[in-house]
Amino acid sequence: KQEVTQIPAALSVPEGENLVLNCSFTDSAIYNLQWFRQDPGKGLTSLLLIQSSQREQTSGRLNASLDKSSGRSTLYIAASQPGDSATYLCAVYTGNQFYFGTGTSLTVIP
């Protein structure tokens, strides 16, 4: 069964820092991996989708990489801002469903 782990569980950084969030998964047979953002009491907003054949995707200050063979993905956030404070979730799609990690709670301190 697919298991997704995110490290760290919580992260607090001063504004302006670059940071990396980590995601690992146990079964490399995935179709794609998606990074989401969740604000308290809200739904999930898709940030980046990486197909299994791709190595990385970029959107603005965000860059996500995927190493399927080792079961790892990273989300890089450049020049962090207080508005980036949220929980970041990674999820892998293996067929009929996404398997989610428990998330990294990010706080960017002004």
| Residues of the shown chain interacting with other proteins in the complex, contacts defined by CB under 8 A | 4, 31-32, 34, 36, 41-46, 49, 51, 89, 91, 93, 96-103
- CB-count exposure of residue 76 (10 Å: 0-12, 13-18, 19+): middle
The span from the CA of 59 to the CA of 35, in Å, is 12
Q: Which is nearer to other proteins, 54 or 63 (CB)?
A: 54
Q: CA triplet 83, 88, 93: central angle to 5 degrees?
A: 140
Task: Write down the least CB distance from residue 102 to other proteins, Å.
Answer: 4
Q: Which is nearer to other proteins, 71 or 80 (CB)?
A: 71
Q: Which is nearer to other proteins, 71 or 103 (CB)?
A: 103
